[in-house]
A and B are shown apart, each in its own frame.
Chain A
Amino acid sequence: MVKGQENDRLAKIIRILFWPTVIMVLFFLLVPVYIMVKVSLSAPEDILTQHPPFLIHNFTWDHWIKVFESGNLWEPFKKSFTVATTTTILAIMIAAPASYVISRMPKKVKYITILTLFLTRMFPEVGIALPISVKFLELGLLDTNLGLVLAHLAKELPFIAWILVGTFETIPRELEQAAMVDGASRLTALTKVVFPISLSGIAVAAMFVWLDSWNEFTYALYLTLSDRTLPLQTYYYIMRGDWFQSAAYATILTIPVVIVTFFLQRYLKSGYLSGAIKG
């Protein structure tokens, strides 16, 4: 990096503040998660008081036991997982080819297309959730996984398309042109040359979609009657003022998140998102 100068005050400040900042940021990021876990594991006296303690004074497994015994956990968990995974797979399948095409368009058209994709995100969800839900209900999609997947797709596709356009842009056209010169058809060039390289970028996009769908709430509220998703189930406990069980559910909701992000964080290096920036 930069060779230090004697008067380089900023470098000195950075050196001093670096580790404290890291720790502070970690602390800030972990506090809500800690609270979730703490509340789910604390006896009521620790929480229902004017001066709550910071650490766990009165530990109890009671709330977790209640959660597992109530039998209300497995179904929503399964549903959320299925919907998230299906949405991710479908989203990639629909968006990747389209993004490829967009990435190869002339610059002006591309710009406009991307901006239009963004238009869809600019409207508060509240305004369109009802009309969309009505349409889905007409199609008999109440309580189905398919209905939720379709609704989530509508939300996620623009975002994924944008990320993937960036990814594809980092892959130079020369590559596929070289493949075609070598005698490959257009389709083969794409599948054998371009897509494999873009896999890491697709991984990043997939991760975002999965997380977003796992947490999705508004459409789940409209499109389910008896089969709740995990966020809805958590909402139920929150609404009924069951502080402890809702904390336990919230923790359960977060665990897959931690696992998924831990796995895929190594893919979050350069390139995948940088392409989007250059656009």
Chain B
Amino acid sequence: MLKNFGWKTIKKYKLEIAMLTPLVLYIIGLTFVPIFNTILMSFQDPLTKEFGTLDNYKYIFGRPEFKDAFKNTLLITAIGLTLEMTFGLIIALMLMKKFRGRGLFRAVLLVPLGVPTLVSAVMLTYVFNTNGYLNELLYRLNLIQVPIDWAGGGMKTILMIVVADMWKVTPMIVLLLLAGLESISDDVYEASAIDGASTWQTFWNVTLPLLKPSITIALILRAIDAFRIFELPMVLAGRSTPVLSTYAYQEYNSYNNPYTSAAGSTILLVLILIFILGYLFIVEREKGVK
């Protein structure tokens, strides 16, 4: 029976298979295989090239830079996601209204998407440098006398990176949320208007629940990229505020150790997986309850 199933199915779906194959081959060959190789490498001993060693991981966990990187990555992702989602939602809601200049607003909104992250990072150093525009603004407003060291580490650096990231990323979130918002039919809003609901009530009880799938997707998409953040911390904060990606890069580049770098990358992968699976699990549970 299985034999029949196999051949017949292939025949029936040959068009589909033909259409699907290039994509699948490409992705497997050029993404899965290298990722798999790198993960394998993280378990290799650098000198003897044997497998099955956890030395690379032990080494990384002992490095203070790694612990910093881990903490920073979590902080940046958490704060960044919250702010980006909030602002993204607000802007998306605003774009639902028809107002003069909406087209212009939308066009400007897309510009950050097209600027290479490296370039935006460098431009933002002009803002956040010791002699930068932000300090200059604060100085002229008489709020500070001595320039603030934004890249000095600690919360201000994290916030700096978050703001820089938001510049590039909020437009994307707006687009995703906008798509979700527009798919909510007007009938729903009319019904709530008839019921005499206030704006807040409508938002909280009607819009938000219907928007949940959009928010989920946007959140997952952003989380994946937020955990992997690279150019911005590299340029804006340097080595004083490492994140997991820049740490993996340093291990590879400056310390010439691709094995520990691979371990770092793998840890990042695991972190992202945990986050996503955890999030999906919570969402599914809520759905189940309802």
Q: Mark B69-107, 1 if CB is under 8 A from A, else 0.
A: 000000000000000000000110010010101010111
Interface contact A123-B108, CB-CB below 8 Å:
no
User: Which residues from chain A sit less than 8 Å from chain B, CB to CB?
Assistant: 1-3, 5, 7-11, 14, 18, 21-22, 25-26, 28-33, 35-36, 39, 49-52, 54, 94-95, 97-98, 100-102, 104, 117-128, 130-132, 150-151, 153-154, 157-158, 161, 186-187, 208, 211, 214-217, 231, 234-235, 238, 246-247, 250, 253-254, 256-258, 260-262, 265-266, 268-274, 276-278
Chain A contact residues: over half helix, strand or loop, or mixed? helix
Interface contact A7-B35, CB-CB below 8 Å:
no
Q: Which residue of B lies closest to A208 (CB)?
A: B113
Contacts A2-B202, A126-B249, A277-B179 given: A250-B19 contact, CB under 8 Å?
no
Return 24 A-B CB contacts under 8 Å, by A number.
Answer: A9-B198, A18-B99, A32-B120, A33-B111, A50-B131, A51-B131, A54-B136, A98-B24, A122-B269, A123-B35, A123-B269, A127-B261, A128-B35, A154-B27, A217-B116, A238-B118, A246-B122, A247-B123, A250-B115, A256-B114, A258-B114, A261-B111, A268-B175, A277-B176
Q: Which residue of A lies closest to B262 (CB)?
A: A127
The interface residues of chain B lying within 8 Å CB-to-CB of A261 are 107, 110-111, 113-114
Identify which of residues 48-64 in chain B touch chain A, using a CB-to-CB cut-off of 8 Å.
none
Contacts A2-B197, A29-B111 given: A272-B105 contact, CB under 8 Å?
no
Interface contact B197-A126, CB-CB below 8 Å:
no
Q: Which residue of A lies closest to B35 (CB)?
A: A123
Interface contact B15-A211, CB-CB below 8 Å:
no
Complex CA–CA separation, A51 to B34 (angstroms) = 48
Kindly provide the distance from the CB of B17 to the nearest chain A CB, expressed in whole angstroms. Answer: 8
Complex CA–CA separation, A94 to B138 (angstroms) = 52
Contacts A124-B228, A269-B182 given: A98-B22 contact, CB under 8 Å?
yes
The interface residues of chain B lying within 8 Å CB-to-CB of A5 are 196, 198
User: Which residues from chain B sit less than 8 Å from chain A, CB to CB?
Assistant: 15-16, 18-20, 22-24, 26-27, 30-32, 34-35, 37-38, 90-91, 94, 97, 99, 101, 103, 105-120, 122-124, 126-127, 131-133, 136-137, 139, 167, 171, 175-176, 178-180, 182-183, 189, 192-193, 196-200, 202-203, 213-214, 217, 220, 224-225, 228, 230, 244-245, 248-249, 252, 258, 261-262, 265-266, 268-269, 272-273
